[in-house]
């Protein structure tokens, strides 16, 4: 069992086997001595590979692996017992796993924005620039919603008893500038009928985090959101082929003159996530998203950007999320009882 009594803090990162998650893991091991790191990934083989890579630069580090797929709520619930067997507390809970399914660029909206002289907003948020796709999971949830948001919400609810206490814990979400109000319908939090399921999930993250922070801070548990900016990873390769990104890379550097969220590489993108781990959480601003901001010279700072949601409307989203969570808990509790009865009969 690992806890603070053992001398080090514990950080759990979802989606830690690649991209920003892997860079974040490496940076946390460098900054926080005696850190016990838990890689929570859906693919154990890739997680093992990531662990080996991290141990090359940090050979004495404690790195555990938990198999967890945030798009599958049963997988999340099953992983909880494994996590609690290993850890009596968690200091940093990084909710980083995510997906964005894109069919192609929305050239029609692009041309309209050029004519309306509104291209800066389009490229700053990405809203309306992409044609998204989504599908339903076997559990009946929309896949992007489950992966980016709801699976993480379930994880928070289930781990609440090993967060906070006499020492503070931080819940740190990976959100995005794509989380604009026009992407979100509070009466359709899964974006079943929406055109931007990715942007919608980021709005759900921002609102949910706001309420979690309000409800849990009395337990010494704090929740904040971050925006890594545009980072070239496997996710962006789903928008354009990697060779196209390399062709337009010089222009991205130039665009930093007017757009400060063009992190491009995972190190700069992870800046806000790492920075939060070095702060006293009770002194941080609420109702903001912490952005990794990069200037034209490549220098990165962290900027708090106001989230455009009130606490009242955020509570309504939270209640929907919480009711959905209770439904899944009851569903799998009933299934467990049925399985036990079948086992006894056999």
- Given the residues 92, 94, 198, 318, the one annotated as active site: 198
User: How far apart (Å, rounded) are the C-alpha atoms in residues 150 and 167?
Assistant: 26
CB within 8 Å of 254: residues ≥ 6 apart = 296
**Could you tell me where the beta strands, DSSP code E, fall in the chain?**
10-14, 36-41, 62-67, 92-95, 102-105, 130-132, 169-174, 221-227, 288-294, 300-306
What φ, ψ does residue 281 adopt, rounded to 5°? -60, -30
Q: Determine whether 94 is an active site residue.
A: no
Token representation of residue 117? 């002289």
- 144-153 burial, b at 16+ Cβ within 10 Å, e below that, comes to bbbbbbbbbb
186 DSSP 8-state letter: T
What size, in residues, is the chain? 346
What is the C-alpha to C-alpha distance for residues 187 and 245, in angstroms, rounded to an integer? 36
Q: Which two tokens stand for residue 273?
A: 């996530």
Q: Are 266 and 209 in contact (CB under 8 A)?
A: no
Residues tagged active-site? 198
């Amino acid at each position: 069992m690992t806890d603070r009594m053992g001398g080090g803090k514990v950080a759990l990162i979802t989606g830690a086997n690649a991209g920003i998650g892997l860079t974040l893991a490496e940076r946390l091991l460098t900054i926080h001595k005696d850190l016990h790191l838990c890689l929570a990934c859906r693919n154990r083989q890739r997680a093992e590979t990531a662990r080996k890579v991290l141990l090359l630069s940090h050979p004495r580090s404690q790195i555990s692996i938990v198999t967890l797929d945030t798009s599958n709520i049963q997988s999340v619930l099953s992983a909880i017992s494994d996590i609690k067997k290993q850890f009596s507390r968690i200091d940093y809970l990084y909710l980083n796993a995510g997906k964005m399914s894109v069919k192609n660029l929305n050239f029609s909206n692009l041309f309209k924005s050029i004519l309306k002289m509104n291209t800066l907003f389009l490229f700053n948020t990405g809203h309306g620039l992409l044609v998204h796709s989504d599908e339903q999971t076997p559990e009946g949830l929309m896949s992007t919603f489950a992966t980016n948001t709801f699976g993480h919400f379930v994880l928070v609810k289930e781990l609440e008893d090993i967060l906070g206490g006499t020492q503070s814990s931080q819940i740190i979400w990976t959100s995005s500038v794509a989380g604009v109000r026009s992407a979100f319908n509070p009466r359709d939090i899964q974006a079943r009928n929406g055109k931007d399921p990715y942007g919608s999930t980021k709005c759900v993250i921002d609102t949910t985090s706001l309420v979690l922070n309000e409800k849990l801070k009395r337990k010494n548990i704090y929740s904040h959101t971050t925006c890594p900016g545009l980072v070239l990873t496997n996710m962006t390769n789903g928008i354009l082929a990697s060779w196209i990104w390399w062709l337009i890379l010089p222009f991205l550097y130039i665009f930093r003159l007017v757009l400060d969220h063009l992190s491009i590489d995972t190190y700069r993108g992870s800046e806000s996530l790492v920075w939060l781990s070095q702060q006293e959480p009770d002194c941080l601003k609420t109702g903001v998203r912490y952005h990794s901001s990069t200037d034209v010279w490549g220098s990165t700072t962290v900027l708090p950007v106001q989230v455009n949601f009130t606490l009242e409307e955020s509570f309504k989203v939270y209640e929907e999320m919480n009711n959905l969570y209770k439904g899944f808990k009851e569903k799998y509790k009933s299934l467990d009882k049925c399985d036990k009865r079948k086992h006894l009969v056999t």
